[in-house]
Amino acid sequence: MQPTAMFIAYLAIALIIGALLAYPAYLALRPVIDEPMYRYVTRGAMVVALIGLTSFLRHLNLNNRQALGYALPPRQFITTMLVGLLAGIIIMLPLVLTLIALDIRPVAPGWIFAWPDFMLAAFEGLIIGLVVALIEETFFRGAMFTAVHRHSGLWPACVLTSLLYAVLHFLKTRYEVPADQLEWYSGLVVLAHLFEQYANPNNIVDSFLALFSVGMFLALVRAKTGNIAACIGLHAGWVLAIKLTKDWTDADYDADLAFLVGHYDGVIGYLALILIAMLAIIYYALAVRGRALSRENG
């Protein structure tokens, strides 16, 4: 089976098992954890995926540091990750400032800068960013990129990992089954609703393309560096910048140029797509392609 199909099948199986386990988990944990059914489905799928990940990676011969993108010595890995973190914040800065200047995301009424609040929000955003980046980069630009690259080469690895990365960001729902109507199959009903945003793709195309370009840029960084240290840093920096932007500004979807951001998070959209796509093209021309040419000439 093609590596991409195996990764998709693995995630699909985790979602189905998570959906089937959601109802008994809901009954068992409801007295202490008051969460809607859709959270039991998504978090159950995450737990199932994590439990089976070691065996899955071993089956694909990906259970080693090199394949997962962690081959650098620890100190060098951390240094490279921190450089990527700074670069990610710098990349986001012109995007955020442009959104504010165009009144697409005006500063929230009553917001006043204060160092203690800033430090707390930045620390929280950094932790969230690092956790998200570690999980997603290890899976996409680590394991999946290596598997597809071995089988099909650079461009399929870049494109296919980026497509799946973008697709998964829109598997979400707030559909809730009333408590008195819950059945053993209610998790499967919620699972079907996870795909509801794809019923009208026009509503997500801008953010989808922006996320795809993000995936392509990160995949090219992975190809150039041979590890995911910079990818984790870049990703964490972007998450941090987006969180702070959402904390301190409000999205105005009635603004004249509001079409430049999508409804996914009110930050990424066509403007982010243009920025990241341009960076990816420049990075490929100067770093990835240049490296390949130097190898050929050498």
pLDDT tens per residue across span 166-200:
999 999 998 988 888 889 999 999 999 999 999 98
In this predicted structure, the answer to whether residue 117 has a pLDDT above a threshold of 50 is yes
In total, the chain counts a number of residues equal to: 298
Among 122, 69, 4, CA closest to 231: 69
Q: Which residues contact 208 (CB under 8 A, 6 or more apart)?
A: 166, 167, 169, 170, 201
At residue 280, the pLDDT reads 95
What is the tens place of the pLDDT at every residue in 103-112? 999 999 988 8
Sign of CA dihedral 112, 115, 116, 122: positive
Tokens of 246: 């959402």
**How much is the average pLDDT of 190-216?**
94
Please check whether residue 261 is in contact with residue 99, taking contact to mean a CB–CB distance below 8 angstroms.
yes
Burial class from Cβ neighbours inside 10 Å (0-12, 13-18, 19+) for residue 185 reads: middle
In this predicted structure, the answer to whether residue 30 has a pLDDT above a threshold of 50 is yes
Q: Give the CA dihedral 265, 135, 122, 215, nearest 10 degrees.
A: -50
234: enclosing H helix or E strand? helix 229-248
49: enclosing H helix or E strand? helix 37-59
In this predicted structure, the answer to whether residue 295 has a pLDDT above a threshold of 60 is no
Distance CA 50, CA 42 (A): 12
What is the tens place of the pLDDT at every residue in 152-166? 999 999 999 999 999
In this predicted structure, the answer to whether residue 290 has a pLDDT above a threshold of 70 is no
Banded model confidence at residue 298, pLDDT cuts 50, 70, 90: very low
The more confidently predicted of residues 32 and 195 is 195
pTM value is 0.93
Please check whether residue 239 is in contact with residue 132, taking contact to mean a CB–CB distance below 8 angstroms.
yes
At residue 294, the pLDDT reads 43
**How much is the average pLDDT of 55-73?**
96
The more confidently predicted of residues 35 and 70 is 70
Task: Find how far residue 120's CA is from the centre of its chain.
Answer: 23
Q: Which residues contact 230 (CB under 8 A, 6 or more apart)?
A: 80, 81, 83, 84, 87, 221
Distance CA 259, CA 182 (A): 39
At residue 130, the pLDDT reads 97
| Domain limits, the chain | 68-172+195-297
At residue 292, the pLDDT reads 54
Distance CA 263, CA 284 (A): 29
Among 257, 12, 213, CA closest to 205: 213
Share the mean pLDDT of the chain: 93
What is the tens place of the pLDDT at every residue in 131-141? 999 999 999 99
What is the tens place of the pLDDT at every residue in 217-242? 999 999 999 999 999 999 999 999 99
In this predicted structure, the answer to whether residue 297 has a pLDDT above a threshold of 80 is no
